[in-house]
Each structure stands twice: as C-alpha cells, then as structure tokens.
Amino acid sequence: MRKVKVYVHLGMPKTGTSALQSLLYHNRNKLKKCGFYYPDFGQKQHYPFVRALSEEAGSPSVFPGGGDQLSVSGFVKKIKRDIKKFKIHTVILSSEFFFDYAGLTPDRDDRAIGQALPFFKNVAQIINNNFHDFDVQIVTWLRRQDDWLMSMYNNVVKAHNFRNTFDHFERKQVAPFYGSILSQWGDVFGDDNINVFVYQKGKPEFNVISTFLNFIDGPIVDDLEQPEKNVREGNIGLPRDLMIIKREFNRGLSLPAPKVRAQLEDHFFTLADQPRFKNFDQPLLSPQKRLSIIEFFNEENQIVVDRFMKDRSGRDLFEYSSEEFNDWKGLNGIDPVAMNSVYAGIITMLMKKINYLEGEILDIKSKRF
C-alpha cells in the first residue's frame, strides 16, 4: 500500500507563502474531496501546530496564540483520523515559523544563527518521529538575501510598527542563512527529500502557487476558488518614501494605541496600492550595500546548491546582473507627493472623527435640554 505523502512547506516569509496558505485554506473542503488535506487547526497558517512543535523543541520565544490548543501528538492524531475518514493521500503543512523563531525578536543577539540551529534540528526530528510511517517531503522557496531583507524590513515597518534602522534589523535576522537551516532538515530527512525552488518575483513564468500544485500533483489553479482579499492581505510593499514616513510614525507613536495604529496601517496600505505610487519607487539599499549582502551569504547559498540542488552544480543559487543595480537614486528628502498624500489622508480621518464627536455631543445636548 502506498504511503500517504506529507509535504512540509517551510514557508519563508515574502516568498508567496501567505497567498499559497490563503488559497489552500479557502479551498480546503474542495481539496479534501480530491484526497488533498490542508488541516484546519483554527488558523490558516498552521500556527497552532508550530506552537506545539516549538514548545516541545524548546523555542526561545513565544509563538502567537489562538486556534487549537493541542500537543504535537494531539495534532498528529487529528491528522491521522481525518486521513482515514476522508481517504486522504496527501497532507500539506505550511508555516513561516518552520524557517525562523517566532516573529521578529528585537532582543535577539546579532547573527544568532548558531543559537537557532539546535531548534531547527529539534523541530525536524519531532516531525520525523511523528510521521515516520509517511513519505515526508520538505518544500521551500528561497529569495535572494538582499531582496528578501529589503522586503521583510518593508513589511515589519509597514505592519509591525518597527522603528529601527535597516542595519539593526539585518543583524538580528536568522532566516537568510539558507544553507545552515536547510542542512538541519537535510540531516533528519535526507538531502534527496529537501526540495528547493528559487523565488523569482517579476518573471512572467514564475508562480509559486502553480509550481507547488504541480509539484504535489494537485489540481490546477483554475480549478480552485480565489479567496477575497482586503487591503491588509495584498502583501503590498510600501514605496521607499512611504515606508520612511511610516517608520517615523512608528517612532512617534510611543503608546500602544492599537486602533490608531491600525487606522494608520490601513491608510498606508491603501496609498501603496494606488497607481500614482507605482512608478517612482526605488530600492531602499544602494547597489554597494546589496552586493555586499549577496557576497556575505555566498557560502550559505553554495551549501544549498551542493547539497540540495545538484542539477544546478557549478551555478550560483541566484542569478543577477549589474544592470539591475543601474539607475539607483539615493534618498535626498521625502517626495512631496508622498508626504502630501499621507497627511491629507490623516487630516481627513481626523475630520471624520471630529465630526462624529460633534454629532455625539449635539445628540447628548438635545436629549438633555
């Protein structure tokens, strides 16, 4: 009898992970009828399962709450029960936290990859122990480190109120050490079961979702229903000027003020999606800085090629040319269009709030007198 396959998606952030998870979760019932099982643990990102893994593996940080509150063995029992009930032949598990500690940990030591590796090894070993009678395949997409760091920095400024400089952020990151991290998974599951794809945003033929569904012999994208997206789920990056303005707001809002922050975030998300901001964006980092990052991680990337992508032997993990670094313009002040757009929107929000409060006051007065 053929073993049930388990695809463990090491969903590195900013590589199409959220879009893939949303599609799979939205279509989980339709997929189930075809024998593909994307578990519903109460959250589409499978945080509850990874939280249980982290507790058993000894994670140094706290994972998000919510969803099912089970042990690792409890989640595995649920999966096995549903496999029998629905005649499942393929299980898909996906989480960003397979690739890092929980969240962005500002108090983490600089270059803490050595501290993180035992955690990754423990997580891999726990999964292997619990799914030893399955055919487990590890799947991940890797993005060139300079691009990933810029995109991730943009994201934490945009949506997580990060207020520090890029250099501070970059020193705290563990995820870009691809070779060291994947080696932990390879040591447990075997190099031939680690499946690495290169994230190539901007290339017309590149599509994470289609590639993944094809890899697992799943349905084609056109047969699945696309989930609705709100302004927060588009994963739209902020143009450089908007990002820097948002970072200054992050620094200025010292109090938690969650409702105010949420309103500001929605305002910036909406601006970023407008056509007028599409054509004047520039990368945050200079060509010299980007090339230094690429060089810094060269050995890590070579480990990936040599161990897990033997068909690319003799080639670099990521391709790039000097042309993509041409025409970079440094920041010589915030663009007035960006500044005016931000403040015009904020003034509008404040006026709506003032009008609402005035209405409430007049209503109270009319009832009183």
Summarised one tens digit per residue, pLDDT across range 192-226 is 999 999 998 777 678 999 999 999 999 988 889 98
| Residue 309 resides in a domain | yes
| Residue 285 resides in a domain | no
Q: Is there a single domain that holds both residue 183 and residue 247? A: no
Q: Is there a single domain that holds both residue 230 and residue 245? A: no
- pLDDT band of 104, cuts 50, 70, 90: very low
C-alpha angle 149-150-155 in degrees, rounded to nearest 5: 95
Q: Which one has a higher pLDDT value, 51 or 193?
A: 193
Q: What CATH number has the domain bearing residue 25?
A: 3.40.50
Q: Which one has a higher pLDDT value, 293 or 310?
A: 293
Q: Is there a single domain that holds both residue 123 and residue 209? A: yes
Asked whether the predicted pLDDT for residue 54 surpasses 60, the reply is yes
- Output the pLDDT for position 103: 46
Q: Is there a single domain that holds both residue 62 and residue 203? A: yes
Q: Is there a single domain that holds both residue 170 and residue 91? A: yes
Q: Is there a single domain that holds both residue 133 and residue 202? A: yes
The percent of residues in the chain predicted with pLDDT above 90, rounded, is 49
| Residue 56 resides in a domain | yes
Asked whether the predicted pLDDT for residue 85 surpasses 70, the reply is yes
Q: Is there a single domain that holds both residue 62 and residue 11? A: yes
Q: Is there a single domain that holds both residue 186 and residue 247? A: no
**Which structural domain, as residue segments, surrounds residue 355?**
240-280+335-369
- Output the pLDDT for position 116: 86
- Highest-scoring range by mean pLDDT, 57-71, 225-239, 294-308, 317-331: 294-308
Q: Is there a single domain that holds both residue 229 and residue 261? A: no
Q: Is there a single domain that holds both residue 210 and residue 106? A: yes
| Residue 286 resides in a domain | no
Lowest-pLDDT choice from 135-139, 285-289, 302-306, 332-336: 332-336
Asked whether the predicted pLDDT for residue 166 surpasses 80, the reply is yes
Q: Which one has a higher pLDDT value, 29 or 353?
A: 29
| Residue 231 resides in a domain | yes
- Output the pLDDT for position 362: 64
Q: Is there a single domain that holds both residue 43 and residue 89? A: yes
- pLDDT band of 101, cuts 50, 70, 90: low
Q: Which one has a higher pLDDT value, 67 or 143?
A: 143
- Output the pLDDT for position 200: 86
Q: Which one has a higher pLDDT value, 111 or 299?
A: 299
Q: Is there a single domain that holds both residue 226 and residue 245? A: no
Lowest-pLDDT choice from 13-27, 96-110, 165-179, 243-257: 96-110
Asked whether the predicted pLDDT for residue 368 surpasses 60, the reply is no
In terms of Cβ atoms closer than 10 Å to its own Cβ (0-12, 13-18, 19+), residue 350 is exposed
| Residue 291 resides in a domain | no
Asked whether the predicted pLDDT for residue 315 surpasses 60, the reply is yes
Tell me the pLDDT of the chain averaged across its residues. Answer: 86
| Residue 349 resides in a domain | yes
Counted domains in the chain? 2
| Residue 288 resides in a domain | no
